[in-house]
Amino acid sequence: MTANLARLFAVASALLLVATHATWAADQTITLRLGIGSPLALERSFKAVLIGDPDVVDVHTRNDRSVMLEPLNPGATNLIFVDAKSIAITNVRVLVCGAGAIPIKYQDGPDCE
């Protein structure tokens, strides 16, 4: 009985750690201004980048662990980096704000102030 309880606790703990890590990756947000690119370094190497809305941001690969983000238009999108096995390694939300002084507000995320 004690062995079964310990095994159940170990499995539950492992699932909690995996769920926490996935949530943390999805919650990363980068805010950019039009006309100002930004480098992004990753902890693991990636094979491909999936861009949710390619009209908002473009991604230029520098090497297998870093990219240069080029804001194209105001808006919000997601970048999903996948490894050689087609497994998502991180999901980054990108918010692009205009170059002017007028803030842009989004219902589901941070604003551009």
Residues, the chain:
113
Instruction: Give this prediction's pTM.
Output: 0.66
Q: Which DSSP category does 44 fall into?
A: S
Q: How many CA atoms lie within 13 A of 96 on its CB side?
A: 22
Question: Residue ranges per domain, the chain?
Answer: 28-97
Split at pLDDT 50, 70, 90, the class of 107 is low
Tens of pLDDT along 42-99?
Answer: 999 999 999 999 999 999 999 999 999 999 999 999 999 999 999 999 999 999 998 7
User: How many Å apart are CA 55 and CA 77, to the nearest integer?
Assistant: 9
Q: Which of 61, 67, 74, 77 is nearest to 34 (CA)?
A: 74
User: How many Å apart are CA 69 and CA 81, to the nearest integer?
Assistant: 13
CATH of 28-97, one of 2.60.40.10, 2.60.40.1380, 2.40.50.140, 3.40.50.11290: 2.60.40.1380
